[in-house]
Amino acid sequence: MKAVVFESFQTPPSIQTVPDPSPEPHGVVVRVEASGLCRSDWHAWMGHDSDIVLPHVPGHELAGTIVAVGKEVTRWQPGARVTVPFVSGCGACHECRGGHQQVCHHQVQPGFTQWGSYAEYTSLQQADLNLVALPESMDFATAAGLGCRFATAFRAVVDQGRVSGGQWVSVYGCGGVGLSAIMIASALGAQVIAVDIDDAKLRLARELGATATLNATQCADVVAAVRELSQGGAHVSLDALGSRLTCQNSILSLRTRGKHVQVGLMAGDQQSPPLPMHRVIAEELEILGSHGMQAHRYGAMLDMVRHGRLDPARLVGRRIGLAEAPAALMAMDSFQGVGATVITDFACTT
């Protein structure tokens, strides 16, 4: 099969012919129909993730069709249209037994702990636990974003932030996760303030339901502006980017007893931000992490899609071929483009 491979960190990946995968006894092989490009893939290529073993095939936002099934799999057959959370649980640890596969102690992550979906085929483990059936009405490009950015935002807003109607929610960063969070929070009846440095992304944030937008490069004091707009501070604030500045600003934007949800990956020199703990203590603020979402929670999200309350298709941006993926991956840190870039053409002859 053809795949995007990098053999060392921070050097250009290439299209290579590599062996087709075989299913593990508990797993399946999926023909990749679409794979999203995510900034987490860029972090992997940069060498920010200790799980990466070189050479490596990135990609963790995927949707496709099952082509081979392991002998222990009971729920799936070839031909099924599926996606998968970017964290696959082992099914045996304490967290998995409690239904928290997103923080499994022995988790597998396509594109990180194993080869991923910038390829014609990929192998997925513990299929009966981790795979999610796709609605026939959902195209693969839309479905690819569910496994990371959209599901991650859903858990951050619904399960961790517990956002409800009438609350003020601030979202720092209008990339894929941030825009998804804005759509979801707005669908729940929240009033959302979107913060970014790109006017095009802020325009899309308004189209997706943001009540107000702030361009951080044109605002003398972003925190003060959020607190003024929200009449005393956000009930819930999300850092959907993952930087020291956005993390701190998100916390400072909260009203008393508000919740900060850290959903943007913090890696490299950004991984240990200074936190205003005096405010956290004095105002009883909550600091929460959010790491993906379990397969068994997809039903609630897909129900909102089915009933027209959420439309993840609006977040799909540029569609590219596999041959274009190496350059697109290396450019991820420049935050170019609006919406998710998705690989949809795997007929690569390079």
- Domain ranges across the chain: 2-144+311-345, 150-289
> Can you give the pLDDT at residue 188?
98
pLDDT band at 236 (very low <50, low <70, confident <90, very high): very high
> Among the listed ranges 187-191, 264-268, 306-310, 311-315, which one has the minimum average pLDDT value?
264-268
Higher pLDDT, 347 or 134: 134
pLDDT (mean) for 268-273: 83
Tokens of 65: 């069709």
> Can you give the pLDDT at residue 54?
97
Is 225 within 8 Å of 252 (Cβ atoms)? no
Is 262 within 8 Å of 290 (Cβ atoms)? yes
- pLDDT tens for 280-294 read 999 999 999 999 999
pTM as predicted:
0.93
> Can you give the pLDDT at residue 347?
86
Mean pLDDT score of the chain: 95
Q: Cα separation of 123 and 228, whole Å? A: 49
pLDDT (mean) for 81-105: 96
β strands within the chain, DSSP E: 2-5, 14-17, 28-36, 61-69, 81-83, 121-124, 132-133, 168-172, 191-196, 212-215, 234-239, 254-262, 286-289, 316-321, 340-345
Look at residue 350 and tell me whether its pLDDT is greater than 60: no
pLDDT (mean) for 165-189: 97
> H/E element holding 96?
helix 94-97
Percent of the chain at pLDDT > 70 equals 98
CATH architecture label of 150-289: 3-Layer(aba) Sandwich (3.40)
In sequence order, the 6+-apart residues with CB closer than 8 A to the CB of 91 are 101, 126, 129
> Can you give the pLDDT at residue 337?
65
Q: Cα separation of 333 and 38, whole Å? A: 10
- pLDDT tens for 197-230 read 999 999 999 999 999 999 999 999 999 999 999 9
> Can you give the pLDDT at residue 297?
97
- Residues for the chain: how many in total? 350
- The fourth-level CATH superfamily of domain 2-144+311-345 is Medium-chain alcohol dehydrogenases, catalytic domain (3.90.180.10)
Q: What residues pair up with 191 in beta bridges, in sequence order? A: 168
> Can you give the pLDDT at residue 349?
56
pLDDT (mean) for 319-339: 86
Q: Cα separation of 131 and 84, whole Å? A: 5
Residue 286: other Cβ atoms inside 10 A: 15
